[in-house]
Structure 1
C-alpha cells in the first residue's frame, strides 16, 4: 500500500502561478484537437504519451511524403493493372476482328445477292460492277426506306460513275473509239455515239442498261438543281425561274438554295442518252428501237406531238432496217404504215409489230382515229396469222440441297442469256394473248367512237366484249401466265381497261334507249301508235331494262376485279416491306 502522508495546507499567497506558468505544459502537442481544451490534464510522468504521425495536424496542403504515399502502387496492384490492360487489349482486338469479319461477310452476301438480282458483265472491273448494282438496287422503291419511292438522284449518281469508267479507255473502255463516219452532232448535246464493235455482247448489253437507266433518271430529275459537290439537291418548286417567279421557301431543316452562279442541273437532258444509244454502232435493232420509242414517249409527255410523231416514225424505220431486204414496201405501206396482208411471215418481225403498235397508239391518243384504226387492224391480223411458237424447254431445276447452295455461293453466277435482237420472225405465243386483247379493245373503242349508226356501235361493243373474254381466258387457262405474277397482272390490267370501256359504252347505250323511250311516251301520237303497234313501248322498255342490267353487271365485275387487284397489290407490298432488302 501507498504510505500515508500528512496533508500540507498551503496558504493562498504561497500558491501563486505565474502568468506563463502553463507555457511549458502547453508545448506538449495536443493530438486530438486543433483548439486548446478548457481542461488540461497534465501527466506527472517524465515521458509524454507516444505520438503517432497520422494524429498530427497536416495543415492546409498535404506534404510531399503524403502525396508520394497516396500515388504509390503496390506490387499486387501493378500486377492487377497489367493483367487488366492485357485482357482489355486482347478482347478489344478480338471484338474488332469479329465485327470486321461480320461486316465484310454481310457486304459480300449483299453484293452477291445484288449480282444475282442485277447481273453485270464479268469483264467489268469490281468498282464498275459495284456502282452498276447500286444504281439498279436504288431503283426498287422498297429499298428507299426514307422516301418510299426510287431516289432518282442517287440512281443517276451511281450510274454516272459507272458510265465514266465504261467510257474511260484506261479503265473499262479499252477498245471504245469514236466513229469515223456516221457520228451525229446534236446541238446542245454534242457528238453522240461510239463504235462498240470491238466490245463483247455482254459489255454492250450492260452499257445499254446503264444508258437507259440514266435516261430514265434524267426524265425524273428535269428542273432539279445541285452544286458541284453534288451532296444536296433541290426540287424545281424551290428554284426561282421564269416559269416559277415565286418559289417555295425551303424547310428549316434544309439548306437554303444556293445562288444562281453556284447552281448546276442535277442531270443532263434525257435525249443525251437516248441519242447516244440510237447513233452508236454495235447495238442491236431492238436496243436502238427501244431507245427511240423511249425518247418519243418523253417528247409526247412534254406535249411536243410533231416531234414525238417523227421519233415514232424513226423507231419504225429502225425496226425495218433489221429486215434482210432493202425495199420494205412489200411489208408495210410507207405512208399509212399499214402492214401488208400479203407480206411474208418471216418479214413480220417483233420489232416491226412493236414499233407500229406504239405509232398507232400515239395516233389514237392524238385523236387521229382514221389513221390509227387501219394500223391496229393490220397488226391484229399479223398476230393471228403468225405461226405458233414451239413449247419452251423446261428449266433446269436448281439444286436446293445444302451442298448445292454452298457451291452456288462459291461459284460466280453466269451472265443471263442476251435478249433476242427482234429481227426474227414473229411467232404467236400463248403469253401474248394479252397483246391481242389490247388490240381488240383499241379497235372496239375506235369503232364505237366513230360509228354513226347503231350497227356500228354494236360492232364496236362486240370487239370490246371479245377483248375482255380473251384477257379473262388467258388468266384462267394459260399456266405460264398464272405462274408469272407480271404476266398475270398485265392481263388483269387489260381486262380492267376492257371492262371500263364496256361499262362506258353500256352507259351511253342505256341513256340513248331511255331517252328514246321517254320521247315516245311523251309524244302526241302516243295513243295512235299504241293502236297501230301495241308492243312498241313494251319493246323499248325491255331494251332499257336489258341495257341497264348489263351496265350494272359490268360495273360489278369491274369493282370486283379492282378489289382483287388492290388486295394482291397490298399483299405484295406487305411481302416486300417485310424483307430487309428487296431485289
Structure 2
C-alpha cells in the first residue's frame, strides 16, 4: 500500500518545542556552577556580568564557591607533610653542622691555648676565645686584635673565676682582710688553696686583661657595651675638638650614658702583686708590666719607684737571709763576691729592667755599673746541663690518631718560680749580647775626648754583634723562630750602633784632615805629611760602608722572612 499524503499537522518540525515544556535557550545551557542564578525557580539564568551587585549570595552558593575537591585536599595534605618533614630535616642537619663546626673550632683553640682542666666548660670556652681574638690574623674584619672583644671575653672568665659559687670555690680573702690600694680598692685574694694550673690560668687572665686595658685607655662605651668609641671621637681636656663619627658608625652617647670601655690597667697588675699564692716570677712580671705602663704614660718618677718595687719583690725571693751580700737595694748593682747559687734569674731580670730604664732617662752613670755587674754574673754562672729526654714516638695508626684527637691535650707545665740559681744557657746568649751593646754605647757616649775609652766602647759593640751572630747558629736557637728573631733584632741594634759610631769617627777624621790642609797648621802637616790622616779616613769610611752593607743585608732578610710569615698566616683558615 502506497502511502499517500499525510494530513497537515500530522508531522511536526523537529526544531519546534512543545509549549507545555518550556526550556532555556541554547546559548545559556551550560553547567550550573558557571552562572549565578538570582532565583532558583526562574527559568531564565543570569550571566555574571548582568548579575546585580546589590544582591547577596546564599549559603549554598558560598559553599560551592569555597568547596575543595577530594584530590585537592589530598594534594594539600601531602604537601604539608613533606614541607614539615624537609624543614625538620634541614633544621637538624644545620644544627648538627653548626655544633660540629663549633666543636672543631673549640678543639683547635684548646690545643693552641690550653686551659686548666678543672675549670668549667663555659669558663674555658670564654678563656680560649679571649686568647684567640688576640691573634691579628683571626680578626678578618679589622686585621688587628679587637681588644674590646678580648677584654669582654676575659672579663666573663674573671667573673666566673672569682665567683665562689662557680670556679672560685675555695677562693678567700686574705687574713688581713684584703689589701686596700688607693684608687683601686681592695685587691688581692688568697689563692693558696687552688692548684698550680688554676693559679697559672688566673694569672694569664689578669695579665691579658691588663694588656687589653692598656690599649683601651681613653675608649668609652655605653651601658649595654655593644659599641666602643676611640678617644679621638670623645671630647676631653686633651681633645677639645673631637672628630665626627664616620658614616655608618653609631652616634656617641651622651656624657651621662658613657662608661669607660675597660678598668684601669693597675687594677689587674696590683691584683697580681697583692694576691697571696702567686710565684715570685708572676708577681715580678706584673710589677714590671705596671712600671712599663707608667713609663709609657710619661710618669718617670712613679715608674722608677715601681721598678724598684719589682727589684724588692725579686730580692724577697732570694734563698739567703742576707740579700745585701748579693745585691744592693739602693744602686741595684750585683756584688762581685756573691755566691753563684744565690744569684737568681728574678734578680737579674729586675736589675736589667731597672738599668735599661735609667739609661733611657739619661742616668747612664747609675746604669753602667748595673750592666757591668749583670754581664759578670751571667758569664760566671754555671753552664746549663742539658739532660736528653727520650722522645716518645707518636702512634701514627688510625686508632692512635683517633685517640689523640679524642683525648684532651695536656696543660703545659707551670713555668719555674725564678728563685732557682742562675744558669748560663745557650738561649740566653742574646741577653749577653744586649748587655755588651749597652755597655759599649754608654762608654762611647761618655768618653768625651778620651780615645782609649772610645775604642773600648767600640770593642764592646763589636763583641755584642759577634755574640748575637754566633748565637743564631746554635742548635737550641736555630729551630726556635722566636729566639732566632730575637737574636736577629739584637744583631740589628748592634750593627746600627756600630755604624753610627763609625760614621761619627769618620766625620771627625775628615775634619781633622781638612784642618791639616788649611791655615797655619798646613805648614806643620806638610813637614810631617798627611798620608796617615788620609789612611785613617779611608779605613774608617771603608769600615762604615761595610757595616751599613751588613745592616742592609740583615734588614732585607728580616723583611723577607716577615712577609713570608704573613703570607703563611693569612693563607690559613685558622691562625693560632
Global fold match (TM > 0.5): yes
Verify: 1:332 aligned to 2:316, yes or no.
no
Verify: 1:563 aligned to 2:556, yes or no.
yes
Matches within 5 A, 1:187-206: 187-206=182-201
SS in 1 for 2:442: helix
**Aligned counterpart, 2:566:** 573
Give distance in 2, aligned partners of 1:377 and 1:185.
39
SS in 2 for 1:466: helix
> How far did 1:227 drift?
1.9
Matches within 5 A, 1:65-76: 71-76=66-71
Matches within 5 A, 1:127-138: 127-138=122-133
**Aligned counterpart, 1:236:** 231
> How far did 1:196 drift?
0.9
Assess, with a 3 A threshold, how the Cα gap between structure 1 residues 70 and 567 changes in structure 2: closer, same or farther. farther
**Aligned counterpart, 2:423:** 427
**Aligned counterpart, 1:404:** 400
Aligned residues: 542
Verify: 1:214 aligned to 2:225, yes or no.
no
Give distance in 1, aligned partners of 2:528 and 2:156.
82
Out of 120, 124, 141, which is 2:115 matched to? 120
**Aligned counterpart, 2:279:** 284
> How far did 1:181 drift?
2.4
Assess, with a 3 A threshold, how the Cα gap between structure 1 residues 528 and 371 changes in structure 2: closer, same or farther. closer
Contact 2:515 2:521 in 1 (8 A): no
SS in 1 for 2:438: helix
SS in 2 for 1:511: helix
**Aligned counterpart, 1:23:** none
> How far did 1:498 drift?
0.6
**Could you list the per-position Cα deviations for residues 111-131 of structure 1 after superposition, in whole angstroms to 9, with x for gaps in the alignment?**
111111111111111111111
SS in 1 for 2:476: helix
Give distance in 2, aligned partners of 1:333 and 1:533.
54
Verify: 1:160 aligned to 2:155, yes or no.
yes
SS in 2 for 1:185: strand
> How far did 1:142 drift?
1.0
Give distance in 1, aligned partners of 2:355 and 2:407.
47
Verify: 1:302 aligned to 2:297, yes or no.
yes
**Aligned counterpart, 1:259:** 254
Assess, with a 3 A threshold, how the Cα gap between structure 1 residues 205 and 300 changes in structure 2: closer, same or farther. same
Give distance in 2, aligned partners of 1:83 and 1:354.
77
Give distance in 1, aligned partners of 2:382 and 2:234.
56
Matches within 5 A, 1:462-501: 462-475=459-472, 477-501=473-497
Verify: 1:460 aligned to 2:453, yes or no.
no
Note the residue ranges of structure 1 that are not aligned, 5 or more in a row. Answer: 5-41
Give distance in 2, aligned partners of 1:528 and 1:513.
17
**Aligned counterpart, 2:363:** 368
**Could you list the per-position Cα deviations for residues 515-570 of structure 1 after superposition, in whole angstroms to 9, with x for gaps in the alignment?**
1111101133424532x323xx1111111111111111111111111111111111
SS in 1 for 2:323: coil
**Aligned counterpart, 1:52:** 30
Give distance in 2, aligned partners of 1:222 and 1:330.
42
TM-score with structure 1 setting the length: 0.88
> How far did 1:84 drift?
2.8
> How far did 1:400 drift?
4.1
Give distance in 1, aligned partners of 2:90 and 2:371.
68
TM-score with structure 2 setting the length: 0.89
Out of 80, 83, 87, which is 2:82 matched to? 87
Contact 2:516 2:525 in 1 (8 A): no
Give distance in 2, aligned partners of 1:206 and 1:397.
29
Verify: 1:321 aligned to 2:316, yes or no.
yes
SS in 2 for 1:479: coil
Give distance in 1, aligned partners of 2:267 and 2:410.
32
Out of 520, 535, 540, which is 1:542 matched to? 535
Deviates more, 1:106-115 or 1:395-404: 395-404
Give distance in 1, aligned partners of 2:485 and 2:492.
10
Give distance in 2, aligned partners of 1:458 and 1:465.
10
> How far did 1:414 drift?
1.5
Matches within 5 A, 1:266-281: 266-281=261-276
SS in 2 for 1:382: helix
**Could you list the per-position Cα deviations for residues 299-335 of structure 1 after superposition, in whole angstroms to 9, with x for gaps in the alignment?**
1111111111111111111111111222111101232
> How far did 1:401 drift?
3.8
> How far did 1:262 drift?
1.4
Give distance in 1, aligned partners of 2:551 and 2:438.
18
Give distance in 1, aligned partners of 2:543 and 2:395.
52
**Aligned counterpart, 2:9:** none
SS in 2 for 1:406: helix
Verify: 1:173 aligned to 2:168, yes or no.
yes
